[in-house]
Each structure stands twice: as C-alpha cells, then as structure tokens.
C-alpha cells in the first residue's frame, strides 16, 4: 500500500485542547474557610450589596424620568443625565467592593476620543461584566452588547439600560446586521458615544489560551486599546467555563474569600494599517497575537461554535471534549460550516458507538461500520483518517478525513468509475448478483452484509441499482465511493506488477504517494495549508 496522506502542520493539535474546561479542587482548609465565612462575613456582604444596588437603582429611576426607552438606548445621554451617571457609577463600584473584589490598574487608559473600542481578554468569569465600571470614567462608562431580554430583569435591567448597550435579539434574523451597523455608527460619532467595550472571544474560557476573536469591534477599522484581565489569586474562585463549577458555587466561593484580586492592564493603543482596516478578521487576529504575547499564553482556533458542538456531543452520549475541533481553523481551511460539522458529529456518534467498550474508532470498528472485513483497501481508506498513525481516529481526524475525501469521492468521475466496477457489460444498472459477487469475491464481504448494503442502495426495491441510485448513495456516503476506487487502484497495481508498499510508521518521514485517490487527497490537504 502507498504511504498515508501527507500531514500538514496546520492541522496539528492545539497546545490547549479544551479551553472550556476548569477542574475545581477544594482542599479541606478551603471548605472550612467557606463554612466559617458563610455564617460570618457572607451575610454582611449580601446586606451591603442589597443596599448599594438599591441606591444605584433609585438614582437610575430619577435619571430616566421623562425620556422613552428608545431614547435611552439609541441616543447618547447629555447634560445633567450624563453627569448623573457618576453617582450610579460610584454606588456600583461600592457594590463591587462589598463583593470582595480588590482591583488595580496597570498602564494608562487612552482618552475616549482616540479609540473606538476597549478590547478585553481573556473572558473567563461573570465578574468580567463589571469591567465597564472599572475601565470607564465617571459618566463615561463604556457601552457593550447585551441581549434585549436583560432589560427586563428586575432592578438590574434599569442599570443595564443606563449604560446604553447595543441590544441584540435572538428572535430577530437581522439582529447581527443591525448590531454591526450600530457599532459603526457609534464609532464614527466623534466622541458623542463613549468607547465600545467588548470581549471578542464571545464566551468564557479557562484563561490558558486566547481563542479566536470575533470581528465585531474591528469592523469600523478604528484604533482600539487592548485590555488584559488577570485574576492572580492562588485560590481560583472565579473561573466559570462550560465544563466546571456552576455559577452559584462560584458566587458563594467569592463571597467566602477575604478578597478577590483583579488586575487590569492597558496595552498601547493599536492603530490598524490599511490592510487591517479593510479586513476585520486580520485586524482581530493581529490584536489577539499582541495580547497573547503580553499574557504569555498560546492562541487556539477554538470558538463559541466549539461549545455548541460540545452540547451536541453530550446529547449524542459522547465525551464532550471529543467535539472540540477548533471550528475557526476547520472553517477557514476546509470551508466547512457549523451545520455540516453537526451532521458529521451525528455520523461519528453512530460510528463510535459500534465499539461499546471503549467508544474508540479503530480499524475493526471501521469494518463493522461498512459491513466489510479488514482488507488492504479498507486499511488504506482508514489511513486517510488516522492522521497520527495511532490506530484510532477521533472526531477531529474524522472531520478532516471526511472533508478531504468528500470532494473527490463525490465527483461524478469518481462515482462513475466505482459504478463501472459493478456494471458488467455497461448495461446502465447493477444486479444483486453483480453487486454481491464483487463484495464477496473481491472485498471478502459475507452475503448478509452484501445483501444489506444492496438493499440500502436500492432504496426503491426494484432489484436493480441504477447510476442515479448509486450516485445518491455515494453522495451521502462518500467513504464507499472512495473505498471502491481504492480497490480499483489496488487491483490495477497488482495486475501491472507494481509493488505496493506498507504505510510508513508515524516516526518515519512520509514518502511521496503514488498517483491515486490518496494523492488527490494529499494535494487537497496541501492546498488548504
């Protein structure tokens, strides 16, 4: 057999495989501290927080008297209303202090007129929502993006509206375009609006890496100021991720600590060049690299869509970490959408559950999926997925393999070649006898498996498989078209006396593949680097 497909460094696993997981460890003395604090300092803190929140709410009600909600959200406050926000700011900071947060600033915040946005990262806790109060000046609190549903929260909703966020609605299909238009409008207001505060990662992580930045804050092409967030305490009581302690426990731990330290570091203002102004994704990526170097953490191409895949994996009874594929990288290099990834996850679930003991996909599990014994053709096809030569494939390898196989294996030329293997005499259809003969004699399949596969392809039950039937099935199951054409190439190699080499071991340097489907995929992989 020819050596496996060439592996690209661009598809190597990230340094941090799961940035959405945090494992909490509470030693006995921390549990004792929490027990004592629960009956001593926690009640005092809760009482102070209720008082300060109530005072801020009363002042907010006074500031919004006589103006409609649309004006609050869509027009910058002026005059005494804008200055009055300073009182709300003061009591909100007092509330923050009552919660036990001690903060310190490093660096110099830029004047608001010089920047369009404050870009804060990493986003790792619910406490980050208070950053607007800490980075802003009195009456010049940065605005953010908020769900419109948050405006209806009792008491807190009025405080949120006073910050004048950009509201987004999940039920409005045009909400994303409206948000982008509003960001551009405010960025070009020449100081009428304060800067935009954004957490470009779009979701919480464990601070071990910076995931992909969303492009929203960078679309206007205006200067931004990066802001680094650190929680340096030895007892990490703030990290709130998709896998880890829940919000109630985190709030309780923070209330039980004597204090929670927050460091806010301002980096120099980043001025985009012409290329970055026209390409917000490039702009976002360059800012991310600067912030990652300052934080001394790596970057990954994980995104919020990876979290959505984790939820899908959980529903499919898979390990949630198995669904993490670095969505941004897969989208950029393979042109694959989230919906396609979700479909592949469902297929991988069906495949992996054939091995109920360990839920791993090895060559034996692969053979069960196809209903075929382990042959050279099946081994070569499996090698296209097994990128690290471990003998098992995970969901990441499955996605890459399927993406590289689907395009060439789904091409009409490839499908016609596979169809001709069965259609003896070029009749235009395949009989059950012809179909079974190839599978039984050439691929060593048993008659039960061959009959079952024939019935699947012959969806109308006519007893014959037309090219249209074959093509429809091959489009949905491109592995079969790839398998049959691989068999054809192996058969032609044997008939011509060509020596078929064994695959290289993972530690060996890959050789140049012979001209085959594997070569086609190798070149496709190279093209996407």
DSSP result, 436-488: HHIIIIIS---HHHHHHHHHHH-TT--SEEEHHHHHHHHHH-HHHHHHHHHHH
Tell me how far apart the alpha carbons of residues 104 and 259 are, in angstroms, rounded to a whole number.
Answer: 13
Q: What secondary structure does DSSP assign to 49-107, as a single string?
A: HHHHHHHHHHHHHHHTTTS-HHHHHHS---HHHHHHHHHHHHHHHHHHHHTTEEEEEES
**What is the spatial distance between Cα 527 and Cα 529, in angstroms, rounded to a whole number?**
6
d(CA 3, CA 12): 19
What are residue 117's DSSP bridge partners?
A: 196, 224
**At 492, which helix (H) or strand (E)?**
helix 478-495
What are the beta bridge partners of residue 118?
Answer: 197, 225
How much is the pLDDT for 525?
41
* Beta-ladder partners of 197: 118
What is the model's pLDDT at position 515? 33
List the beta strands (DSSP E) in 143-245. 145-147, 166-168, 196-198, 224-230
Query: What pLDDT shows up at residue 269?
Result: 94
pTM, entire model: 0.75
Residue 522 to residues 2, 53, 374, 491, Cα–Cα distance (Å): 12, 61, 23, 21
Distance CA 309, CA 315 (A): 10
| Residue with token string 């169809």 | 419
505: enclosing H helix or E strand: none
Q: What is the CATH number of domain 305-529?
A: 1.10.238.10
Residue 271 CB neighbour total at 10 angstroms: 12
The pLDDT of residue 490? 55
Q: Smallest Cα–Cα separation from 123: which of 10, 42, 217?
A: 217
H or E stretch at 305:
helix 304-315
Kindly list the domain boundaries of the chain, sorted by start residue: 28-295, 305-529
Cβ burial, residue 285 (10 Å; 0-12/13-18/19+)? middle
Beta strand 361-362 with 196-198 is unpaired
pLDDT tens-place values along the chain, 529 residues long: 333 444 455 566 777 778 999 999 899 999 999 999 999 999 999 999 999 999 989 998 888 888 887 777 778 877 888 888 888 888 888 998 999 999 999 998 887 778 888 999 999 998 887 777 777 655 567 877 877 777 788 877 778 887 788 877 766 777 778 888 888 888 777 777 888 888 999 889 999 999 999 988 898 898 999 999 999 999 999 999 988 899 999 999 999 999 999 999 999 999 999 999 999 999 999 999 999 999 999 999 999 889 888 888 888 888 777 788 888 888 887 788 888 888 888 888 888 887 765 667 888 888 887 777 787 778 877 887 887 788 888 888 888 877 766 655 555 666 777 777 777 778 888 888 887 777 776 666 677 777 877 888 887 888 888 888 887 777 777 776 666 666 665 555 555 554 444 444 333 433 333 333 333 333 334 334 3
- Dump the DSSP string for 1-57: -PPPPPPPGGGSPPSSS-TTB------HHHHHHHHHHHTTHHHHHHHHHHHHHHHHH
Interatomic CA distance for residues 434 and 270, integer angstroms: 68
Which tokens in the block code for residue 98? 């009552």
| H-type alpha helices, 147-214 | 156-162, 175-187
Q: CA nearest 235: which of 9, 32, 442, 81?
A: 32
Task: Return the H-helix or E-strand segment holding 262.
Answer: strand 260-266
Please tell me the distance from the alpha carbon of residue 288 to that of residue 462, in angstroms, as a whole number: 59
d(CA 210, CA 441): 54
Ramachandran sector of residue 483 (left: φ over 0; alpha: ψ -120 to 50; beta: rest): alpha
Whole-number Å distance between alpha carbons of 70 and 159 = 15
Angle at 352 between CA 347 and CA 354, to 5 degrees: 105
CB 273 within 8 A of CB 267: no
Say if residues 251 and 231 touch (Cβ distance below 8 Å).
Answer: no
**Chain-centroid distance, C-alpha 191:** 35
pLDDT for residue 508: 40
Nearest to 443 by CA among 411, 465, 421, 413: 421
């Amino acid at each position: 057999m020819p050596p496996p497909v060439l592996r690209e460094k661009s598809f190597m696993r990230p340094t941090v495989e799961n940035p959405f997981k945090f494992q909490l460890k509470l030693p006995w003395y921390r549990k004792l501290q929490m027990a004592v604090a629960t009956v001593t300092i926690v009640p005092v803190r809760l009482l102070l927080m209720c008082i300060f929140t109530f005072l801020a709410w009363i002042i907010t009600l006074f500031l919004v008297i006589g103006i409609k909600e649309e004006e609050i959200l869509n027009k910058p406050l002026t005059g005494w209303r804008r200055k009055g926000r300073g009182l709300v700011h003061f009591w909100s900071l007092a509330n923050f202090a009552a919660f036990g947060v001690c903060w310190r600033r490093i660096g110099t915040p830029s004047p608001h007129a010089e920047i369009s946005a404050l870009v804060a990262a990493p986003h790792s806790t619910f406490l980050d929502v208070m950053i607007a109060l800490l980075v802003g000046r009195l009456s010049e609190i940065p605005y953010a993006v908020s769900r419109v549903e948050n405006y209806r929260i009792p008491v807190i909703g009025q405080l949120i509206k006073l910050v004048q966020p950009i509201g987004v609605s999940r039920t409005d299909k045009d909400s994303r375009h409206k948000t982008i238009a509003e960001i551009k409008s405010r960025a070009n207001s020449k100081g009428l609006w304060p800067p935009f505060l954004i957490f470009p990662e779009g979701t919480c992580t464990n601070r071990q890496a910076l995931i992909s930045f969303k492009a929203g804050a960078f679309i206007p092409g205006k200067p931004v100021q990066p802001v680094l967030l650190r929680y340096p305490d030895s007892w990490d009581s703030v990290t709130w991720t998709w896998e880890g302690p829940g919000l109630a426990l985190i709030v309780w731990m923070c209330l039980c600590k004597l204090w929670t330290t927050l460091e806010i570091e301002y980096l120099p203002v980043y001025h985009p060049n012409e290329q970055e102004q026209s390409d917000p994704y490039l702009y976002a990526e360059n800012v991310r690299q600067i912030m990652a170097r300052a934080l001394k953490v790596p970057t990954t191409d994980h995104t919020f869509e990876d979290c959505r895949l984790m939820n899908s994996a959980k529903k499919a009874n898979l390990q949630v970490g198995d669904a993490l594929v670095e969505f941004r990288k897969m989208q950029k290099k393979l042109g694959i959408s989230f919906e396609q990834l979700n479909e592949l996850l469902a297929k991988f679930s069906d495949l992996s559950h054939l091995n109920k003991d360990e839920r791993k996909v090895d060559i034996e599990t692969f053979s069960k999926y196809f209903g075929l014994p382990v042959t050279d053709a099946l081994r070569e096809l499996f090698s296209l997925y097994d990128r690290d030569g471990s003998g098992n494939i995970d969901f990441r390898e499955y996605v890459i393999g399927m993406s590289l196989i689907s395009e060439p294996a789904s091409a009409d030329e490839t499908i016609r070649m596979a169809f001709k293997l069965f259609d003896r005499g070029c009749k235009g259809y395949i009989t059950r006898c012809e179909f079974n003969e190839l599978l039984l004699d050439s691929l060593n399949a048993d008659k039960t498996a061959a009959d079952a596969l024939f019935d699947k392809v012959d969806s109308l039950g006519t007893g014959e498989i037309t090219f249209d039937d074959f093509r429809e099935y091959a489009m949905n199951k491109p592995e079969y078209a790839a398998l049959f054409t691989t068999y054809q190439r192996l058969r032609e190699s044997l008939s011509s006396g060509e020596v078929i080499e064994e695959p290289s071991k993972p530690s060996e340097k890959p050789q140049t593949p012979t001209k085959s489907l594997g070569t086609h995929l190798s070149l496709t992989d190279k093209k996407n680097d």
